[in-house]
Amino acid sequence: MVTSRDVARVAGVSQSTVSYVMSGRRSISAETRKRVLDAIEQLTYQPNAGARALASQRTQVIGLVVPFGPGADTAGLLPFIETIASCARAEDHDVLLVTTDEGAAGLTRLAGRALCDAIVLMDVEADDARIPVAAALKVPVILIGVPDDSAGLHCVDMDFTLAGTLAVDEIAALGHDRVVLIGHAADVIERDINFVRRFQRGAAAAAARHGIGYSVVAPVPPGTAGAREAVERALDGGGRPGVVVPNSQAVAPVLHALIERGVVPGRDTSLIGLCTDAAAEATTPAVTNVSLEPRDVSRRAMEILFRLLDRGGEPPAQLVELIRPRLTRRETTLPAP
């Protein structure tokens, strides 16, 4: 292993000078700097992360707690992880992965062993036992998701209320006189009360504002059979209700159940899904969707996190920050009247 002392020897300077050249925390003569940089290149020196962390009390690592493990909502997770990793690297940090199934222990481990400088906590539930633990840590934490009580922690999430509003606004604009939400699976309702509640609140308010009918079919069992049954119930009321599916998992099954039933979205009725754009474009036909914009959410989360880390920048005053969703018209909604 090549150390900064080796570099110092080759460059003919002291070890501390090498350190200062790397950190730039002291002015160095052009000539000395060059000799040091040349030596670094020649030896392909790289600083030892452990030693640096020990001496500087900074690991240059972001802890990322992701919802793996049994019963985790793992769909659409990758864009989050990918964006977070990319943002971290842009600030010369790495990402250490911890899974949700470790629970609060994962958090205390990250902080207690000084494995990271800051933590991103994903898949936060309405009443999440990890929140108080996270709030007591000495490292900055950012939540993705909005708990009932964020205990003073910053959080970023999709604006699900607005998502519900956008979807129902569109349904109303297309001339439907009622809208049916074909909702979440039972376990999601159990866990993410906040998420579901927020979307439904926005949808219901929009429906009332437009004076159109509003009903919810939930829970929806996963898979084809569950979708068929839900579609039956949705169409029970007669007419051609606009259908909103606030559940990525269920979008494709519901779409196909409708087609099977002879009610083709885009021709006979309108279907709007709540899912990523990629998922929306993967079905046949492509579904009009309200996108969760995981990349925007993650990017904003990392922005806040690094502001929390830099003693320079001020973190945003408001704790809860909601990212605007976006509706994209595709093939499953009627043409505008």
Partner DNA sequence: CTGTTAGCGCCTTCAT
Partner DNA sequence: ATGAAGGCGCTAACAG
Q: Contact residues for DNA (CB under 7 A)?
A: 1, 3-5, 12-17, 19-20, 22-23, 25-29, 31-33, 45, 47-48, 51-52, 54-56
Which phi and psi (to 5°) does residue 97 adopt? -90, 130
Q: Binds 99, which of DNA, its own copies, none (CB < 5 to 8 A, cut-off by type)?
A: its own copies
Nearer to its own copies, 49 or 208 (CB): 49
Residue 169: Cβ within 10 Å count: 18
Show the tokens assigned to 63: 């802890």
From the CB of 190, what's the least distance to DNA, in Å? 40
Longest dimension (CA), the chain: 86
The region of 107-115, 145-153, 183-191, 294-302 touching its own copies under the rule CB under 8 A is: 107-115
218 CB-near residues (< 8 Å, 6+ apart):
181, 182, 183, 184, 189
Is residue 328 near its own copies by the rule CB under 8 A?
no
Nearer to its own copies, 166 or 254 (CB): 254
8, 28, 65, 85: residue in contact with its own copies (rule CB under 8 A)? 85
Amino acid at 203: A
Residue 140 near residue 111, CB atoms below 8 Å: no
- Report the chain's C-alpha Rg in angstroms: 25
DSSP state of 269: B
Is residue 1 near its own copies by the rule CB under 8 A?
yes
From the CB of 252, what's the least distance to its own copies, in Å? 7
Say whether 62 sits in a helix, a strand or coil: strand
Q: Binds 61, which of DNA, its own copies, none (CB < 5 to 8 A, cut-off by type)?
A: its own copies
Is residue 223 near its own copies by the rule CB under 8 A?
yes
Cis check: omega of the bond before 140, within 30 degrees of 0: no
Nearer to DNA, 51 or 208 (CB): 51
| Rounded (10°) CA dihedral 130, 164, 76, 91 | -70
Residue whose token pair is 């992965």 = 97
Show the tokens assigned to 18: 């090498």
Residue 3 near residue 27, CB atoms below 8 Å: no
Nearer to DNA, 12 or 237 (CB): 12
The region of 34-42, 102-110, 162-170, 300-308 touching its own copies under the rule CB under 8 A is: 102-110
Q: Binds 216, which of its own copies, DNA, none (CB < 5 to 8 A, cut-off by type)?
A: none
Is residue 53 near its own copies by the rule CB under 8 A?
yes
Is residue 10 near its own copies by the rule CB under 8 A?
no
How far is it, in rounded angstroms, from Cα 62 to Cα 49?
A: 14
Residue 247 near residue 216, CB atoms below 8 Å: no
22, 37, 81, 186: residue in contact with its own copies (rule CB under 8 A)? 81
List residues binding its own copies (CB under 8 A).
Answer: 1, 44, 46-54, 59, 61, 64, 68-69, 74, 77-78, 81-82, 85-86, 89, 94-99, 102, 108-109, 112-115, 223-224, 227, 249, 252-253, 256-257, 260, 281-286
